[in-house]
Amino acid sequence: MSSFLSRRVEFLSVLRIRDFRIYYFGMLSSVTGHLMLVAAQGWLVYDLVGVPAALGFVAGAQAVPGLLVNLLAGALADRMDPRRLILFAQASAGVLTVLLATVTLFGEIAVWHILVFAFLIGTVLSIDQPARRTVWPALVPRDQFIHAASLNQTVWNGTRVFAPALALGTIAVVDRVTGDARLGAAIAFYASTLGFAGIVVAVLMIKIPQIRRSTGATVLHDIRDGLVFVVRTRVFLMLLLLTFTIGFFGLSFHQLMPALAKDDLNVGPSGLGLILSVGGVGGIAGIFVAASFGAYTSRSWVMVGGAFLLGASVLALAVSSFFGSFAFAMVFVGLASAFWTVFQVSTNVVLNLLVPEEFRGRVMGLRSIIWSLSPLGALLGGVIATWANSTPFAIGLGGGAILVITLSMYVLSSDLRHVRELVEEVDAERAERGADGRPARA
């Protein structure tokens, strides 16, 4: 029994590496602040207008900058010290959140204010997403990638257990004490800025070893080279397309949860916080599954199975919500988060095992678009929910789309079915050439 348990928590051993440990806790702080901001923002928007489409528009305002900025930010992360990008982005996000909190506290907050701040905060945070994903592979040995990727996933899933509940709980408590829920939203916004400060301190404390940088003549040349590399290397193209599918159709239900909770599940801020926390618990369960069976992480059936079961769980969430079952909705939110985590960890490990160092920032920049596609999916979902007068209907469409697209890609792509062999080829080449091995065949 002790050996079984030790294998389940073996991934925690990567925390013995000082710089990774500091960086991990900095990320934990940042994501806590970000999720508090998003949860309070979603509640405030729906409280102001009570229309699901408004949630989609705010999510879209956050998403558009990522589509425009991520690839440029990835090219910059390949050319310069990524710590500089992280410091600029996180400090800027903190300042903008303070301004949003102040407008909420002292001004007549309106949806257009939230849209503007969502766009600006989304812009600056898009700058550091590729940079953050290039830092951790430089801090840990290659044979520890599975452990580091699994632990990184605890940042998002662990904070989802308590960060939304903390923000929404603050709103609920302040509303009960003062009768002013929007005062609670302002306090939640102010509190979220502490998270952005935490990663600034952490990044100033770590050191990154020398890594290969891009040698393109200009940033535009680097962007072009990155796109050509991904298009010509089929396995990267397939993995990114599958990731984009999941982002657009599978994760967008999170932004629609305020409408689902209020209109279909008949719960308030505390109930919304609870169901979002259950999603975090499910994500943590998925981390233990992915990390404890690390030998299979680069198998295609792990990635595709995680994606397919995510789609099934989202579809089941829609059905249970249509019938107003809060208990079943919590179960399927937890399952969806668990299967998403298995897919996320597996894909993250495979991409980092295959990609050359000098292309890592650009590939991770493309992959970061998933976080923009999720709000854009919510924008479409919000419009569909408003048109059909049914949020479960919009969420169910997304789950069904994942099932169809995932199965189709697995059948049509031989690279996706044989991804393990591609990883073994790269490992063999690296063993022959040293750290300068090349990626999978084009």
Q: What is the pLDDT of residue 385?
A: 86
What does the alpha-carbon distance between residue 285 and residue 188 come to, in Å, rounded to a whole number?
28
Confidence of residue 319 (pLDDT cuts 50, 70, 90): very high
- Domains in the chain: boundaries: 11-436
Q: Provide, rounded to the nearest whole percent, the portion of the chain with pLDDT above 90.
A: 19
The residue that leads in pLDDT, 353 or 426, is 353
Q: Give the tens place of pLDDT for each residue, 79-95.
A: 777 888 889 999 999 99
Confidence of residue 1 (pLDDT cuts 50, 70, 90): very low
Structure tokens at 69: 């900025």
Contacts of 240 (CB under 8 A, 6+ apart): 230, 363, 366, 367
Q: Give the tens place of pLDDT for each residue, 298-310.
A: 567 778 888 899 9
* Section 326-345 average pLDDT: 88
What does the alpha-carbon distance between residue 340 and residue 247 come to, in Å, rounded to a whole number?
10
Are the CB atoms for 160 and 279 separated by under 8 Å? yes
Amino acid at the residue 58? V
Confidence of residue 294 (pLDDT cuts 50, 70, 90): low
* Section 369-376 average pLDDT: 70
Q: What is the pLDDT of residue 10?
A: 66
* Section 73-80 average pLDDT: 75
Q: What is the pLDDT of residue 224?
A: 74
Q: Is the pLDDT of residue 417 over 90?
A: no
In CATH terms, the superfamily for domain 11-436 is MFS general substrate transporter like domains (1.20.1250.20)
What does the alpha-carbon distance between residue 133 and residue 143 come to, in Å, rounded to a whole number?
17
Q: Give the tens place of pLDDT for each residue, 3-45.
A: 545 555 666 778 888 888 999 999 999 999 998 998 898 888 8
Q: What is the pLDDT of residue 439?
A: 38
